[in-house]
Chains A and B, each alone.
Chain A
Amino acid sequence: MAGEMPADLFGAASPIGKRQPRTESRRLLRGRGRYIGDIRLPRMLHLAFVRSPYAHARIGAIDAAAALAMPGVVRVVTGRDLVPVTTPFVGVAAHRAGHKSAPQPAMAVEKAVWQGEPVAAVLAETRAEAEDAAELVVVEWEELPPVVTAEDALAKGAIHDALGDNLAFQHTIKAGDADAAFAAAAVVVEHTFRFDRQTGLALEPRGIIADWDPGAESLTVHQSHQSPYQMLDIYAVHLGIPDHKIRVIAPDIGGGFGTKINVYGEELAVCAISRLVGRPVRYLADRLESFVSDTHAREHALTARLAVAADGTITAMELDDLGAVGAYGMHRRFSVAEGMMAITMAGAPYAFANYKARTRTVYNNKTQVGMFRGVGMPFACVTTEVLIDKAAARLGLDPVDMRLRNFRTKASFPCVAPCGAKIDDASFHACLDKLIALMDYRRIRAAQKAWSDPRTLRGIGIATFIEQTAYGPPYYGPGKARISVQDGCTLRLEASGQVRCITSVTDQGQGTLTGLRQIIAAALGVGYDDIEVLAGDSAISPYGGGAWASRGMAIGGEAALKAAIALRDNILAVAGAITQREPSALSLRNGHVIDAATGREIIPLAEVGHIGYFRQDTLPKDTVVEFAVTRNHVDNNVMYYTANGVQGTHVEIDRETGFVTVLGHWAVDDCGRVINPLLVDEQVKGGIVQGLGATLYEHCVYDEAGQLQNGTLADYLVPMAGEMPDIAVGHIETPETATRLGAKGVGEAGLIGAMGAMWSAVNDALRGIGGSIEHQPFTPERILAAIARAKG
């Protein structure tokens, strides 16, 4: 029957669920990747930006004479020059009542509102010439007082006069009766949490080549970006070019992590400037300007409280969040998601009913906060888990037992948590039970309790979380942001029996395309190497979202499965006509059409392809050959697919140096059906290391003038091989019920849980001496201060 799932799609012999190595890595391992910096077009010009040296300053006259006199320089373009040829971004979320943001020009026009904001661009024949000349552009600056911290933002005058103040947005949630629950609680615990700014830091900086063809009146853009379709629409809307005259190609991308899903004025400027000069223009950010111009994440301060009954039952939670997001809301992504996710996911794994929360988003004179792996989900995890540890300690309960006591049970699903998070199904108990075994929790806890080395402290952290993956139409639709939440897949049978796949999802290293191969191989009975996958080209694939919110397998995989089922039906119909059998009696396996009942091979796919393309004369007159199909997937009414997991970490703190050593780290994750355990495990591990880096090392340090103090890789610490642990990963599989594939996302799980576990572990270690820590990252200085406070 048409549309039917092939038998044994998820069986033991299926390619789905196998640890298949990632095909796409083969090229990359030979240095044959093609990243933006590797692409050169004829007559291509190189662009360098002149950036504001001040966090907040009015722009006077711009004198480009000296720059224009430099060798190789072709043109200098100012922000004002782009006003007639671009329309500004407006990062307002229509579905968030009261949310406001000022219009953001491609380059600053009247005033610069962060250090590093572009104000002019120099075009030259080489990158070095453009950079040399950019230093000679003289801008008359009038410094204005900067708004640096979130507290500043609330107290000081508006960065954008038209907005009246710097409060971008606030939102409150109330469920049940939190005040009454707190009043009646046996134990109330409270903690404050500060998260410094960090940056995504993809190893390949952002880059773009814009190529306006004045003859064809078309724009071709090669861009290091996670969503070619999003950028197509951005350029169409803000440059006034019809969609079909724009092609955006994302080649190999050296890491994204959300940094490259955001929308940057520079990139609109580069396209506009290519159109002005009628030549290809390339811009590659260097590392120093990446630090001041890439989006940042996580400048938040939260206060949280938990109410607990004497038996350890959680009765209520309260959360207050304040986040500062730079000078503008992120176009189409809004910059309110960190705070909203924090308050709409906090406490979700636990079965309490009373909840009260507020988030406030403010503007300050720093580069914008944008999407970064995990977005606000780690805040929800960290705040909840630290409070539970604190409450457990007050009640003399083991923190694992306290969690097991309070988890939502299988019988309670589907449910909506008081914070608003919808959970269709989850596996909190199963994940924690498995984690306890994996990390040998009872043994290391006993050893930790007996730990008596006066030079060190030891701590164990446990963090349970939900991960909202594959965000769907109910979020961006009402937000009136033109963000495609569907993804599509085209499959074509080649004449020789292989399969070509063209997908709208993109792969920055996640292995998504290999996952698609496995799904297609399973459904069509062909080998992995008989499938070739193309991605990242807005002109040739179905429309789609690309890579964000952990959607590649969950949505893109489902689209591939639908397409494979449809192509299978078409192949079997033609095979039936060739062999004079009922298509329903046929199946596909090992590159052949087989007898579904006996498994006997009847005709090779290559022969079906040959006849279908070259010998239609031998087919009955009414046999239709459709060997190329396209299918899309989106669940119109589903907000997200909820995944869940738990992590544990074991740390040692050196009391003399304040250094934290990770002794071990463990994760059990439930991302629904696992298409490829190898790829999922490594996604989780990579995310964990980013989460450990966030919690222990990474922060963008600003001074009172809003100047970034550590904008080099020598000064901004990231995790390196020497200080990271080996990590063990286990799985529970609770398939997503909204799709036939059953996959949920997993891209952000590692980071969310790792931040939670590390906050839990370091506070656990400090609790032994009556101390605690409230400020991320946990630098040695902050650890030593926490130890000193505890002693005092």
Chain B
Amino acid sequence: MTDFQDIDLTVNGARVRRRVAARQHLADFLRDELELTGTHLGCEHGICGACTVRLDRVIVRGCLVLAVQADGGTVETVEGLSDMGALKDLQEEFLARYAAQCGFCTPGMLITAHALLDGPGPVTRAAIRDHLSGNLCRCTGYQAIVDAVEAVARRRGR
């Protein structure tokens, strides 16, 4: 349980080298080692989706991936994706529609929605609800989030 391993990865465009506990999950690594606290932990058993980040361009649950599994990989968090402008239109629509209340699910929700908008599939309301159904929001009741994602899809010509 105290085994350590060296990892070398890219996080939000910057190279990061660290020695980490083998058991440390990616979300704890991002939060505790790199102070990227925009990645939140709501359950730590893979249900709530608050810890969603991108690993090698695919969305993953940060609590179900070990930091050592990201060795050699590329990780993007809400901080990096915001700085890149990748979430800009989603953030605008979330703001306009009050789709972020307490904000705890929000980074994971944005990154999950971004994956749908970036993907090949159709972006209907039903598809949005289905795609987001692994992300728990306790505040909004989801409708404003669905509206926001749908508005971005229209803006992007999807």
Contact = CB atoms under 8 A, between A and B. Distances in A.
Interface residues of A, number: 58
Which of B78, B95, B104 has the most chain A CB atoms inside 10 A of its CB?
Answer: B104
A202 B141 contact: no
Interface in B109-158: 110, 128-130, 132-146
Contacts of B38: 30-33
29 contacts: A28-B100, A28-B106, A29-B94, A29-B106, A29-B110, A30-B82, A31-B37, A31-B39, A32-B38, A33-B38, A35-B40, A35-B104, A37-B40, A38-B31, A203-B40, A203-B50, A205-B42, A255-B138, A257-B138, A509-B100, A678-B98, A682-B140, A682-B141, A686-B101, A689-B140, A712-B47, A720-B133, A724-B142, A727-B143
Contacts of A685: 140-141, 143-144
Prevailing SS type, chain B contact patch:
loop
B44 interface: yes
Contacts of B135: 720-721
Nearest to B142: A721
Interface stretch (A19-27, A117-125, A269-277): A19-27
Contact of A713 (B43, B82, B98, B102): B43
B26 interface: no
Nearest to B140: A686
Contact of A722 (B43, B50, B101, B133): B133
A202 B103 CA distance: 11
B98 A287 contact: no
Which of B21, B31, B98, B140 has the most chain A CB atoms inside 10 A of its CB?
Answer: B98
A78 interface: no
Interface of B: 1-2, 21, 23-24, 31, 36-45, 47-48, 50, 77-79, 82, 87, 91, 94-98, 100-107, 110, 128-130, 132-146
Interface string A221-261: 00000000000000000000000000000001111110000
Contact of B31 (A37, A679, A690): A37
Contact of A34 (B2, B37, B91): B37
A311 B97 CA distance: 46
A655 B8 CA distance: 55
Interface in A115-146: 128, 132
Contacts of B146: 721, 726
A203 B95 contact: no
Nearest to A682: B98
Q: Report, nearest first, the 10 A-B pairs whose CB atoms are least far apart.
A: A31-B38, A28-B103, A254-B104, A509-B101, A689-B141, A509-B102, A31-B78, A722-B133, A38-B37, A713-B47
Contacts of B140: 682, 685-686, 689
Nearest to A21: B95
Given A689-B141, A718-B138, A30 B101 contact: no
Nearest to B95: A21
A286 interface: yes
A292 interface: no
B98 A679 contact: yes
A723 B47 CA distance: 16
Given A35-B104, A508-B102, A203 B141 contact: no
B138 A511 contact: no
B94 A721 contact: no
Contacts of A25: 94-95, 98, 100-101, 103
A576 B39 CA distance: 52
A712 B145 CA distance: 25
A22 B132 CA distance: 23
A490 interface: no
A679 B135 CA distance: 22
Nearest to B111: A31
Prevailing SS type, chain A contact patch:
loop
B78 A713 contact: no
B125 to A, nearest CB: 8
A721 B132 contact: yes
Given A25-B100, A689-B142, A722-B133, 19 more contacts: A25-B94, A25-B103, A26-B95, A30-B78, A31-B78, A32-B38, A37-B40, A38-B31, A202-B102, A204-B40, A204-B102, A254-B103, A254-B104, A257-B138, A509-B101, A511-B98, A679-B98, A686-B101, A687-B141
Given A203-B104, A686-B141, A712-B45, A29 B91 contact: yes
B156 to A, nearest CB: 18
Contact of A690 (B24, B138, B145): B138
A203 B48 CA distance: 8
A37 B144 CA distance: 27
Contacts of B44: 286-287
A723 to B, nearest CB: 8
Which of A27, A254, A713 has the most chain B CB atoms inside 10 A of its CB?
Answer: A254
Contacts of A720: 132-136, 142
Which of B1, B47, B79, B96 has the most chain A CB atoms inside 10 A of its CB?
Answer: B47
Contact of B129 (A29, A35, A204, A722): A722
A150 interface: no
Interface in A506-563: 508-511
B96 A202 contact: no
A723 B104 CA distance: 21
A750 B143 CA distance: 14
A537 to B, nearest CB: 18
Contacts of A128: 21, 23-24
B94 A203 contact: no
B102 A721 contact: no
B40 A255 contact: no
A675 to B, nearest CB: 13
Which of B2, B24, B141, B145 has the most chain A CB atoms inside 10 A of its CB?
Answer: B141
